[in-house]
Amino acid sequence: MLSRVCSSPRLTRHGSVVSIGETEPDEATQHRNELLTALKKEVKVIMEEAVTKRQIDLDSPYVTSLCVAVENCLMDGLRRRLLGLFGNRTSLALLHTIAKTNAVAEQVLAKTLETNSQYVLFIQRAVLEHFSARTLRTFPEWSGVGMRLRFQRCRDG
Task: Summarize pLDDT for 14-67 with one digit per residue, the tens.
Answer: 767 665 666 777 888 888 889 889 989 998 998 888 888 888 887 888 888 888
Report domain extents, the chain.
88-157
Q: If pLDDT is split at 50, 70 and 90, which confidence band does 1 have? A: very low
How many Å separate Cα 70 from the centre of its chain? 8
Alpha carbons within 13 angstroms on the beta-carbon side of residue 91 total 13
Residues 64-120 have pLDDT tens digits of 888 888 888 877 775 555 444 445 556 777 778 788 888 888 888 888 888 777 766
The rounded distance, in Å, linking the Cα atoms of 96 and 105 is 8
The rounded distance, in Å, linking the Cα atoms of 80 and 25 is 16
**Is pLDDT of 144 > 70?**
no
The mean pLDDT value of the chain amounts to: 70
The rounded distance, in Å, linking the Cα atoms of 78 and 6 is 32
The rounded distance, in Å, linking the Cα atoms of 40 and 65 is 12
DSSP code, position 153? H
Per-residue model confidence (pLDDT) at position 22: 62
Average pLDDT over residues 134-154: 50
**Is pLDDT of 4 > 80?**
no
Average pLDDT over residues 118-132: 64
DSSP-derived pairing of the beta strands 5-11 and 17-23 = antiparallel
Single-letter amino acid, residue 38: A
